[in-house]
């Protein structure tokens, strides 16, 4: 599961770079670039949230937080993931 999450993280870097590159070259405008970045971040946030709930582990500031070892910190990390997902979905709604 960690390998899948790491692959998603590595794949997202060039995708985000491609969106920003197309914006700089004038292929897409400002609102379209924000829409695509919001979609990309929403997908990554949803995948991270699904993996966190499924595996019982989540990331916070680069550290792996286990549900069994740190219940309170795990709940806070899940709530932050939900907040980021909602923020991304708001961006998708606003710029679509």
Q: What is the pLDDT of residues 4-47, one digit of tens each?
A: 777 877 888 888 888 889 888 988 898 899 899 999 999 988 98
User: Residue 90, Cα to own-chain centre: how many angstroms?
Assistant: 14
What proportions of the chain, in percent to the nearest 5, are helix, strand and coil?
Answer: 75, 10, 15
Q: Note down the domain range covering 86.
A: 2-95
The confidence score (pLDDT) of residue 3 equals 80
Whole-angstrom distance, CA of residue 17 vs CA of residue 2: 23
E strands in the chain: 57-60, 63-66
What pLDDT digit, counting tens, does each position of 40-94 carry? 999 988 988 888 888 888 877 677 778 888 888 888 888 988 999 999 999 999 9
Q: What is the pLDDT of residue 83?
A: 93
Question: Which strand (E) or helix (H) includes residue 93?
Answer: helix 71-95
Domains: count for the chain: 1
């Amino acid at each position: 599961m960690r390998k899948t999450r790491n692959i998603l993280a590595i794949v997202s870097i060039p995708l985000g770079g491609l969106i920003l590159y197309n914006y700089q070259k004038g292929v897409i405008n400002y609102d379209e670039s924000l829409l695509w970045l919001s979609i990309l971040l929403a997908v990554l946030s949803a995948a991270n949230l699904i993996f966190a709930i499924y595996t019982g582990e989540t990331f916070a500031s680069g550290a792996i937080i286990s549900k069994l070892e740190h219940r309170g910190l795990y709940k806070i990390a899940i709530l932050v993931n939900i907040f980021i997902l909602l923020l991304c979905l708001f961006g998708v709604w606003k710029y679509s």
